[in-house]
Amino acid sequence: MTQGVLQTYHEFLPITPATPMITLGEGNTPLVRSHRLAEQLGLDHLYFKLEGSNPTGSFKDRGMVMAVANAIENQSKTIICASTGNTSASAAAYGAHCNLSTVVLVPKGNVARGKIAQAIAYGANILVIKGNFDQALTMVRELTRRHPIALVNSVNPYRIEGQKTAAFEVADALGDAPDFLCIPVGNAGNITAYWKGFEEYQETEHTTHSPQMFGFQAEGSAPIVRGEIIENPETIASAIRIGNPASWKTALEARDESGGIIDAVTDEEILAAYKLLARLEGIFCEPASAASVAGMMKSVAKGLIPKDKKVVCVLTGSGLKDPDLANQIADIPLRELGTEIDDVERAVLSM
């Protein structure tokens, strides 16, 4: 039977005798060695952490299971979050699993269709906000100050605790920490969580070092890179379309303490990486996730990542979340044929 992250890493987590040990099978995701992209880039050790393999298709499940367990421990009956889509899908799933009422606030027009479908399927109460993620987050923070509703965004420290388990898994799989960890940055909870995880693993002598943290924002939504709040963030990578990250300060700490960088990648670079991953590696991630690979490629080109180092790119969510995008940018024609074997044969042989 699957253990889940609470059971597997309980000694590192804020678990008490009263914590319900819930799981939907989150964690224990694959760390896949790059095959063709590494060769193309001349890298000796490139790996992808496939967080799209979590139960709701993103890394959020690691943090959500901890935050929801804590909400139950605190006798909460309702959980709430603002979301660009994945947090809401995850909250809705764990809310359903634990018989909690789940409320999600999502920005109108900027959430991938698969993510909304998940929230609907899991039975969440969905509020579509005529505003962006940052405005929705401000509202849920205020609402949870006014009412006894559990906030399950990554401003909830239990989310960070759960999410740090991904760093443990990376180190466990490699036998030590990698040299570089490339990760997309939106609200900046995940880079904060990975850094916390790597630091704790080094402190407890599970690893000999911690990686340089390389975080990547989308060019039109890069407040940390620019050093100022972006009022109207834009990017094709809707998951990281965030102009005022809640964990800004701890993202800077992760960068500076690890000797890393936080840089921006353009939508074109994100889409190029998104296609390369699918075509060269057989890995279909969502565009926000491809920001880590776009950033890694940019950093290799700049000479910031030496080619003999161990590099892990975190692929935060599944490509199936955003089927519209894959179809929109498709450059492979679909050929329609009848049931004549000769026609089909001709088509097959002409490929």
| Residues at the contact surface with ligand F0G, assessed by CB under 6 A | 58, 60, 83-87, 154, 184-190, 239-240, 286, 288-289, 316-317
Give the length of the chain: 351
Residue closer to ligand F0G (CB basis): 84 or 207: 84
Nearest distance from residue 139's CB to ligand F0G, in Å?
Answer: 14
Cβ atoms < 10 Å from Cβ of 256: 12
Residue closer to ligand F0G (CB basis): 93 or 306: 93
Q: Can you tell me the distance from the alpha carbon of 173 to that of 45, in angstroms, rounded to the nearest whole number?
A: 13
| DSSP H/E element including 92 | helix 86-97
Residue closer to ligand F0G (CB basis): 118 or 316: 316
Nearest distance from residue 13's CB to ligand F0G, in Å?
Answer: 18
181: left (phi over 0), alpha (psi -120 to 50) or beta: beta
Residue closer to ligand F0G (CB basis): 85 or 95: 85
Nearest distance from residue 56's CB to ligand F0G, in Å?
Answer: 10
Residue closer to ligand F0G (CB basis): 84 or 156: 84
Nearest distance from residue 207's CB to ligand F0G, in Å?
Answer: 22
Q: Hey, what are 29's tokens?
A: 């995701």
* Residue 249 vs residues 194, 252, 255, 289: alpha-carbon distances, Å: 15, 5, 10, 22
Nearest distance from residue 285's CB to ligand F0G, in Å?
Answer: 8
Nearest distance from residue 287's CB to ligand F0G, in Å?
Answer: 8
**With b meaning 16 or more CB within 10 Å and e meaning fewer, what string describes 3-37?**
ebbbebbeebbebeeebeebbbebbbbbbbebeeb
